[in-house]
Structure 1
Amino acid sequence: MQKVSTDDFSNENFKWLTSQNINVGYAPVNAMRVNFVGELGWELHHPIEYQNHIFDKLMEAGKDLGLKPFGIRAMNSLRLEKSYKLVGTEMSIEYSPYESGLDRFIHPNKGNFIGLEALNKWREKGFENKLVTLEVYNTTDADVLGNNPIYYNDQVVGRATGGEYGFRLDKSMALAMIKPEFATIGQKLKVDILGTMYDAAIMDESPYDPENKLLRA
């Protein structure tokens, strides 16, 4: 980033989870020090007419660093290693924010807000799901893709919301919504991938860089 901008991207000046208005070449950009892959990086928000200019600047500056474009499947693999949630899969109208693991963002005692009444009714009724991170063992040519049933003793106890192979961890990974009574670290389960049953186990959330040291670097 420092190669393409006159702004200061040092850790002291541009801390994690902050944003600043910067320039990239001739383009005005709002840079946010967040990303969806779990590495040191920025999201760049800008008027669409500057898209090609910014892309060309970044690719030219990163040539000697081996910078290359990557696709959505690669990003999905990286986000799963961080247990990052995706709208429409781990976060949707099917699940309450509590089931999706968003507890720390919910403050039911702060006063009335849109959805509070419905959320309280949901809490009183009890939650049917809990989001967990899974390691899937002994996969060969296919990994979890999503909507795979999760079993315990031949009983369906949940479903995978997404999955890929995690190349940084060298593990086959999945996120899944399962019944809360089975949502403990180390719980052994089975997952159906294309009609074949594979062993799986619940692991700690964010298995790649769990303390976010790389994001803060």
Structure 2
Amino acid sequence: MLGERAVPYGDRAVLVDADPGDVAGLHAALVVDPLPGQVDLVPAARTLLVVLDRPPTELDLATLRRLRPAPADADRPRRDPVEVPVVFDGPDLADVAGLTGTAVPDLVARLTGTELTVAFGGFAPGFGYLTGLPAEVHVPRRATPRTRVPAGAVGLAGPYAGIYPRASPGGWQLVGRTELVLFDVDRDPPALLSPGTPVRLRAVG
């Protein structure tokens, strides 16, 4: 139960503050049983924005404050994972193996043997924050961010994995690279990795 963690956000939305592990379940609950006039849901790490076609009411707030998470996949049929071919030769691969106390081949096996899920998007168009990493491969961000990370770089930071859709600065630990195009304005939808998408990394090269 959310208690008092649902507040009006502008004149057409409600912002729900949630525990990180509950966001996907709250999103699923509102897809299955939407509020009247609900037009969009925008998940983030600790919040869920519920966009309406009207001003929010006290009943909306009360409903959201009582809302309980549903199973994270309750809002969709089972989908095959998006397979991401990855060359595991990132500049931080050996450092990550050292931080996690594993050999590089074992680290790669853990990363490729786990089904990940896009929890939410952010940072740049097409960037999905992937959850589901085993706790033993959670690593901190780099102490000094890079001024340029190439497009397609696969990185780790805390409980998340992510793939840079375009060249940009970044502080994640880079373990590999892919040639997969993550964001294309001529594709429908443009983002390959939308919230809720299952993902598997596949070692190539």
State the TM-score bracket (shorter-chain normalisation). Answer: under 0.3
Task: Say which structure, 1 or 2, has more relative contact order (CA 8 Å, 6+ apart).
Answer: 2
When Rg is computed on C-alpha atoms for both structures, the one with the higher figure is 1
Give the TM-score, by structure 2 length.
0.25
Give the TM-score, by structure 1 length.
0.24
